[in-house]
Amino acid sequence: MRTVDLRSDTVTRPTEAMWEAMRAAPLGDDVLGDEPTVARLEARVAAMLGKEAALFVPSGTMANQLAIRCHCEAGDEIVTHRDSHIIHYETGAPAAISGCMIRTIDGPGGLFDAQAVLATRRNHDIHSPRPRLLVAENTHNRGGGTVWSVDAFVQVAHAARELQMQVHVDGARLWNACVAAGYSPADFAKPADSISVCFSKGLGCPVGSALVGSAALIQRARRFRKMLGGGMRQSGLLAAAALHALDHHIDRLAQDHANARRLAEGAVRIPGLSVAVPAEHTPTNMVFLHIDPSRGTAQRLSEQLASRGILTLALDPQRLRFVTHLDVRTEDIDQAIEGIRIAMQG
């Protein structure tokens, strides 16, 4: 019985075709400005998102933090959902790197509406921080892989403009959102001033993300990337993997979504488990199982599953996360469901 790693879609290994693309990539030195494969990736991603320019960076966290540093000054306020990635998984970087405070808003599944944004309105005087940046996340990780609609995002972006804020999208899994909702990256990104996208999550690359926005913003971000140690040399090896993934790994995300639904539908039939949304409406490639406290904890269940070769992440005391990806087959999902059933009987 093989190990089924459902901890994250970041655990994938390059396919043979991706390895070949990496080996064949022409290389230069990106810090010195002559990396041809990186330049090709940056131009392509900018065009896909309908923006002027893009910057290849090592991680989604760096892409988000470069955006914050470019948009904000020390003492500014960032408005975002209370479950956002920039709050929970980026080690306090908005405060440490940019000197910004965060004001949280709420909404189901990590999403929020224009009224929630407008409710953060402050008086513009010397006593208050300056609301400077609204951050939305698509798909929303802690929300369960939930997806913004274009109309809803346009409305919240308009509300942010009314409050004189810029708009950044943490689009680490934007590709999943586009496949699930049927819109293009450019259609969704149009109201945003900047957007980050990851290649190392749903697309199966070993490393890499991009920040996308205006030419002026990206020029500014390039300097901060160097300051933070994010300038890479022969990074065309990694950019080639991303270019291959853009050609071959986007449409197949629908299979990951189908596998996630299969997992959710199987798991909710097991006594003691529930999901936040109806299993058949699992939005993308994430399944969050809630364990009834009378049946134990998420950590205990995670450890029991690991002993059976099924790897997961316990997010909090009663909630367990499963993420499907290109290294997970349909038969692996059935193995996971059976493993969960056996563990819950113990």
Task: Tell me the average pLDDT across 184-197.
Answer: 98
With a CB cutoff of 8 Å and minimum separation 6, the contacts of 151 are none
Query: What is the structure's pLDDT at 228?
Result: 96
What are the residues whose beta carbons fall under 8 Å from the beta carbon of 48, sequence distance 6 or more? Answer: 184, 185, 186, 246
Give the pair of three-digit tokens for residue 250: 């986007």
Establish whether domains 16-248 and 252-345 are of one fold.
Answer: no
Q: Per CATH, which fold does 16-248 belong to?
A: Aspartate Aminotransferase; domain 2 (3.40.640)
State the Cα–Cα distance between residues 339 and 333, nearest whole angstrom. 10
Distance CA(165)–CA(191), nearest Å, equals: 12
Instruction: Decide if 239 contacts 38 (C-beta within 8 A).
Output: yes
Confidence band, pLDDT 50/70/90 cuts, at residue 276: confident
Please give the pLDDT value at position 124.
83
Q: What rounded mean pLDDT belongs to the chain?
A: 97
In sequence order, the β-bridge partners of residue 316 are 319
CA angle 328, 333, 334 (to 5 degrees): 140
With beta carbons less than 8 A apart as the criterion, state whether 202 and 248 touch: no
What does residue 145 show for φ and ψ, rounded to 5 degrees? 75, 30
Query: Domain-by-domain residue ranges, the chain?
Result: 16-248, 252-345
Residue 346: is its pLDDT beyond 80? no
**The CATH fold of domain 252-345:** Aspartate Aminotransferase, domain 1 (3.90.1150)
DSSP 78-93: EEEETT-HHHHSSTTH
pLDDT of residue 1: 74
pTM of the model: 0.96
Per-residue pLDDT of 305-327, as tens digits, reads 999 999 999 999 999 999 999 99
CA distance 313 to 7: 5
Helix axes 253-267, 174-181, angle to 10 degrees: 80
